[in-house]
């Protein structure tokens, strides 16, 4: 029975930092956590030293498309392995591979890979050691609102119809979450089908009004994708054709902030949102209802240049510049290019929130959103997904269930 004893650093827990902490792991599970003085190292245990830095939980990414030149929509095991390996270097130990707006066959192929990835525990990337944990796919598109598609191809947008999504839901055991614009025809039936199968239901890429979001709560919606991005607000609603200029109406943004039932997420790369918007989101939702996501595309860890968002065949061209994806004409952003470690460092620097709260937003909160009780924090009985971070929160070593990936 292999035991691992982590020490030599401060523990990052969801509600506090524990100086001179220690963590004991047996058979991939955490069996003790606290001050090193109270948790002696058992005889024969492997010792892992943090070098005076931090011992933190593995990050959980709810919204990630690609990295290191590959995208989950490329449709091959090799592409998925490339993306997962890249994000492990940035501290992600669990994720929901995220699809894009695409034709039926490409989405189905991605979901089939999610089925295999869940079964194979990340395709056993590291010499038989399970890699980044695939929690199931994030079914993301094609059910977005016209005009709110962002960098997704508008030609493939469509409303949800049972004849199509019935095939997708045959893979429901490998779908962790699904996004829909609630104002679309057929959105209610789709939403109820999602919830009936135990899948987390999200709103995103939508021009819904406050009232339409409130109705969607009854269907089971509990999460809103990338706050402030590709969503309606009072100003955008006034600009839509046929909408009266008065009285002003609230949109998805206002509803996401108002309803306590709704969790949400931010892309804290320093490019999508200013520091004041990050602080605003944190003030309204708190670290228990606000997750950090990467929304990362294939340009992670690659130089500036031209790339493809989504599948290589039929995706959307974009340019990586200044650490973010940008549409070629400069009209809009085209998702993120940075890993979760960058999101943590940026959000910590720009909000002034406690480090424990920021790390919680990248670990315990997304795990809770996905209703996963086995991951997300350094607590007794949970999977030993552990990061060693230096004093600048740079990732030094990564462990999944006590086995080192990096």
pLDDT at 159 over 90: yes
Higher pLDDT, 357 or 244: 357
Instruction: Print burial letters for 336-362: b (CB count within 10 Å at least 16), e (below 16).
Output: bbbbbbbbbbbbbebbebebbbbbbbb
Please state, in angstroms and rounded to a whole number, the distance separating the CA atoms of residues 107 and 113. 10
pLDDT at 149 over 90: yes
Residue 109 token pair: 């192929």
H-state helical runs in 259-363: 275-285, 340-351, 355-361
Higher pLDDT, 131 or 308: 308
Label residue 123 by pLDDT band (50, 70, 90): low
Helical (H) or strand (E) element with 239:
helix 234-239
Domain with CATH 3.20.20.140 in the chain: 59-374
Give residue-wise pLDDT tens across range 177-223: 999 999 999 999 999 999 999 999 999 999 999 999 999 999 999 99
Arithmetic mean of pLDDT, 94-114 = 97
SS3 129: strand
7: β partners: 49
Residue 96 token pair: 């929901």
Arithmetic mean of pLDDT, 319-348 = 97
pLDDT at 264 over 70: yes
pLDDT at 126 over 50: no
Please state, in angstroms and rounded to a whole number, the distance separating the CA atoms of residues 392 and 379. 24
98: β partners: 138
Label residue 226 by pLDDT band (50, 70, 90): very high
> What's the topology of domain 3-55+392-404?
Urease, subunit C; domain 1 (2.30.40)
First-to-last C-alpha distance (Å) of the chain: 22
Residue with tokens 């890699």: 131
CATH class of the domain at 59-374 = alpha beta
pLDDT at 283 over 50: yes
Instruction: Let me know if 194 is exposed, middle or buried by CB neighbors in 10 A (0-12, 13-18, 19+).
Output: buried
pLDDT at 320 over 60: yes
pLDDT at 279 over 70: yes
- Full-model pTM: 0.97
pLDDT of residue 187: 98
In contact, 4 and 397? CB cutoff 8 Å: no
Please state, in angstroms and rounded to a whole number, the distance separating the CA atoms of residues 315 and 337. 16
Which 8-state DSSP code applies to residue 126?
Answer: B
Residue 100 token pair: 């894009």
Please state, in angstroms and rounded to a whole number, the distance separating the CA atoms of residues 267 and 343. 7
Which phi and psi angles does 318 have, rounded to 5°?
-150, 170
Domain with CATH 2.30.40.10 in the chain: 3-55+392-404
CA 28 to chain centre: 23
Give residue-wise pLDDT tens across range 8-53: 999 999 999 999 999 999 999 999 999 999 999 999 999 999 999 9
pLDDT of residue 125: 53
Helical (H) or strand (E) element with 79:
helix 77-88
Measured from the Cβ of residue 247, the count of other Cβ atoms closer than 10 Å reads 6
Q: Of 126-135, 327-336, 348-357, which gets the smallest average pLDDT?
A: 126-135
In contact, 169 and 162? CB cutoff 8 Å: no
In contact, 75 and 393? CB cutoff 8 Å: no
pLDDT at 375 over 50: yes
Question: Quick one: CA dihedral 377, 379, 383, 385, positive or negative?
Answer: positive
pLDDT of residue 129: 54
CA distances from 331 to 220, 318, 319, 328 (A): 34, 11, 12, 8
pLDDT at 122 over 70: no
């Amino acid at each position: 029975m292999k035991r691992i004893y982590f020490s030599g650093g401060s523990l990052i827990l969801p509600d506090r930092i524990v100086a001179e902490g220690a963590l004991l792991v047996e058979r991939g599970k955490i069996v003790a956590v606290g001050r090193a003085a109270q948790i002696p190292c058992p005889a024969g245990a492997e010792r892992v030293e943090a070098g005076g830095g931090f011992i933190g939980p593995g990050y959980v990414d709810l919204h990630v498309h690609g990295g290191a030149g590959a995208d989950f929509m490329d449709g091959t095991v090799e592409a998925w392995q490339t993306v997962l390996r890249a994000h492990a270097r940035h501290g992600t130990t669990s994720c929901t591979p995220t699809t894009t707006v695409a034709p039926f066959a490409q989405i189905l192929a991605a979901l089939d890979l999610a089925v295999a990835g869940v079964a194979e525990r990340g395709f056993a990337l590291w010499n038989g050691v399970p890699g980044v944990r695939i929690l199931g796919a994030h079914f993301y598109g094609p059910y977005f609102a016209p005009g709110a598609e962002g960098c997704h191809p508008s030609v493939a947008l469509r409303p949800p119809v049972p004849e199509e999504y019935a095939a997708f839901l045959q893979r429901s055991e490998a779908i962790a979450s699904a996004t829909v614009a609630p104002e679309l025809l057929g959105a209610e039936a789709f939403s109820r089908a999602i919830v009936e199968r135990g899948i987390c239901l999200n709103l995103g890429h939508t021009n819904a009004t406050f009232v339409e979001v409130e109705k969607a709560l009854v269907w089971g919606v509990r999460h809103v994708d990338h706050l402030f991005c590709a969503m309606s607000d009072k100003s955008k609603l006034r600009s839509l054709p046929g909408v009266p200029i008065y009285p002003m109406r609230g949109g998805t943004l206002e509803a996401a902030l108002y309803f306590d039932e709704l969790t949400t997420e931010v892309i804290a790369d320093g490019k999508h949102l200013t520091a004041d918007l990050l602080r605003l989101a944190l003030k309204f939702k708190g670290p228990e209802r606000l997750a950090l996501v990467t929304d990362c595309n294939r340009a992670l860890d690659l130089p500036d240049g031209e790339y493809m968002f989504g599948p290589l065949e039929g995706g959307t061209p974009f340019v990586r510049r200044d650490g973010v994806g940008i549409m070629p004409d400069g009209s809009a952003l085209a998702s993120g290019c940075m890993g979760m470690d960058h999101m943590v460092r940026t959000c910590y620097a720009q909000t002034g929130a406690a480090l424990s709260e920021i790390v919680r937003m990248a670990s315990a909160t997304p795990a809770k959103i996905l209703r996963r009780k086995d991951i997300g924090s350094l607590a007794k009985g949970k999977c030993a997904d552990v990061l060693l971070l230096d004093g600048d929160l740079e990732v030094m070593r990564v462990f999944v269930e006590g086995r080192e990936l990096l």
